[in-house]
Amino acid sequence: MSKIVLGQNQYGKAEVRLVKITRDTKRHEIEDVTVTSQLRGDLDAVHTDGDNAHVVATDTQKNTVYAFARDGVGSIETFAMRLGQHFTGEFGWITGGRWEIEQYSWARIPVDGEGHDHSFVRSSDERRNTVVTIDGDRTWIVSGLSNMVVLKSTGSEFRGYPKDKYTTLQETSDRILATSVSARWRYLTTDVDFDKTFENVRAIMLEAFATTHSLALQQSLFQMGSAVLEAHPEIAEMKFSMPNKHHFLVDLEPFGLDNPGEVFFAADRPYGLIEATVEREDAPDAGRAWDSVPGFC
């Protein structure tokens, strides 16, 4: 019989919910994140023999997240790097790991035309995220967003596809195009103004979605990725996952009404699922950057 050995492994605390309020002036600031910390290294003995001598407890990892937040979170990328450098620096046998952070955004509640000092409303379900992966002396950063829901009420066609005996879809030169964008991009360096770059990448994606006369969602996706890579040499590649949120014209004829492209049934499933990577041909190898990043091709 072949020998059975331990393969790749990692462990840590998943989804540590952290809210940091900065209250040093009467105008408070809120930072709201979910952190997952996972360590890799010389961890064979705990798996094979139950020897915990190398196991930095997942509870300790959770506590470290809260302790580090005492000084503020800052950009999620730098917070994840702080955690990673701490664990790999403090414990010799921890040679790497993966720190994933998701951030929820809050807006100030407007009162008399001004954002309130200490009352907030969760702005949407959109989230910013990052995954920092460390392996020895290498660090990779993949950042992104999810649930960015966008819609174009014209400027979208879908024609020219092959027809077979199962095809019922009618060609259209004017349809609604809607999707919920999940995008992740890999940085070529750790020396980035992450907050500024995030805002800019998001704005570029939105502008490309809006201004592309779309012949297919696949084309819109590629335009969005290309526009970001053209403007940001520090980004090697972008991965997208974009459900096609179909809007079907409702037949109003039974009610003696026409429907001049104005009344739609917004279906939630099934949905087309469009996924692709837009990349620089000459980008260096991604190494372990995409390890355990689900839902992208």
Ligand X SMILES: O=c1[nH]c(=O)c2[nH]c(=O)[nH]c2[nH]1
Give the three-state DSSP class for 73.
coil
Angle between the 58-69 and 76-90 helix axes, to the nearest 10 degrees? 130
- Residue 209 makes contact with ligand X by CB under 6 A: no
Q: In angstroms, what is the minimal distance from the CB of 278 to ligand X?
A: 16
**Which range of residues in 22-30, 63-71, 103-111, 216-224 is near ligand X by CB under 6 A?**
216-224
- Residue 43 makes contact with ligand X by CB under 6 A: no
**Which range of residues in 8-16, 145-153, 211-219, 261-269 is near ligand X by CB under 6 A?**
211-219
Q: How far is CA 102 from CA 86, 98, 283, in A?
A: 20, 13, 26
Under a CB-based contact definition with an 8 Å cutoff, are residues 99 and 35 in contact? yes
Residue nearer to ligand X on the CB measure, 133 or 244: 244
Quote the Cα angle for 204-207-211, to 5°: 140
Is 26 annotated as catalytic?
no
Burial of 247 (0-12, 13-18, 19+ CB in 10 A): middle
Catalytic residue among 62, 239, 245, 246: 246
- Copy the structure tokens of residue 43: 């961890």
Residue nearer to ligand X on the CB measure, 60 or 218: 218
Catalytic residue among 13, 20, 62, 232: 13
Q: What is the 3-state secondary structure (H, E, C) of 146-206?
A: EEEEEEECCCECECCCCCCCCCCCCCECCCCEEEEEEEEEEECCCCCCHHHHHHHHHHHHH
Task: Lay out the site mask for ligand X across 115-154 (x = CB under 6 A, - = otherwise).
Answer: ----------------------------------------
Q: How far is CA 187 from CA 7, 70, 77, in A?
A: 28, 27, 11
Q: In angstroms, what is the minimal distance from the CB of 280 to ligand X?
A: 25
Is 246 annotated as catalytic?
yes
Give the other-Cβ count within 10 Å of 92's Cβ.
Answer: 10
Catalytic residue among 34, 58, 60, 95: 58
Is 58 annotated as catalytic?
yes
- Residue 179 makes contact with ligand X by CB under 6 A: no
The one among 169, 170, 253, 285 contacting ligand X by CB under 6 A: 169
State the residue number with the nearest CB to ligand X.
Answer: 217
- Residue 297 makes contact with ligand X by CB under 6 A: no
Cα separation, 43 vs 94, in Å, equals: 8
- Copy the structure tokens of residue 78: 């730098």
- Residue 74 makes contact with ligand X by CB under 6 A: no
- Residue 158 makes contact with ligand X by CB under 6 A: yes
Q: Of 229, 207, 202, 210, which is closest to residue 105 (Cα–Cα)?
A: 202
- Count how many Cα atoms sit within 13 Å of the Cα of residue 37 in the half-sphere of its side chain: 29
Q: Could you say which residues in the range 79-118 bind ligand X, by CB under 6 A? A: none
Residue nearer to ligand X on the CB measure, 150 or 188: 150
The one among 56, 81, 176, 217 contacting ligand X by CB under 6 A: 217
Q: Could you say which residues in the range 272-291 bind ligand X, by CB under 6 A? A: 272
Residue nearer to ligand X on the CB measure, 73 or 177: 177
- Residue 244 makes contact with ligand X by CB under 6 A: yes
Catalytic residues: 13, 58, 246
> Which residues in this chain contact ligand X in the complex, by CB under 6 A?
158, 169, 216-218, 244, 272
